[in-house]
Structure 1
């Protein structure tokens, strides 16, 4: 296996690993977004329940403040993860570009080798033709 082939293998593995990491981040972001939805639904249920009892209404502002802080922490986490995901997507694009360059280099090398082989075959064929022509000329004389 040549150095370019090994480099290609490494680049493919790196690209696949970065794609897996990006998928994991996207999954985590989706989970956190669902957590926010569930949190909002829970707050709405608590508000509806608090309307039935004066005691629950007294504790409602503290509960809502706590849940708002929780929501803000989740939103901050989502924002941080989205920045990380964007960085990772940029790395994926760069890794993909490098992979394509390596693939093109390998393809160019194969084409050069094929051209050299064709040239060698043509030279052998030409030599056989010249040799055959000389034999015929010498037999005619």
Structure 2
């Protein structure tokens, strides 16, 4: 339990479907009559505009955190693997803001400690590719 990995693929599915369900429940329109309306060809797009607004807000939050959150010891907006990438200039910046948020929220010991970047770039910073921040953009796909 001291090194139990919190985030994973199934957990990301759960977060994404939960957020999508909340958005749908709170922005759902009542059923309209089956008559044709002037915008019938794009009716589904028009009627789901509140859902699109919520989704765009999530994407803006993601972009703001990814490119605007100051991560200690890392350049602003860094998205690289850390380690030996760029001749080791950003050794402890694995995952940038997404990795930093995961390490702060759940702790270093509960983040995936053997991602691909450990082998390829000799990074020693744990990083979870299925972390919390990435779930915000996955809601768009759901």
Q: Report which structure shows greater RCO (CA 8 Å, sep ≥6).
A: 1
The structure with more helix, counted as a fraction of residues: 1
State the TM-score bracket (shorter-chain normalisation): under 0.3
Q: What is the TM-score with the length of structure 1 in the denominator?
A: 0.26
Q: What is the TM-score with the length of structure 2 in the denominator?
A: 0.26
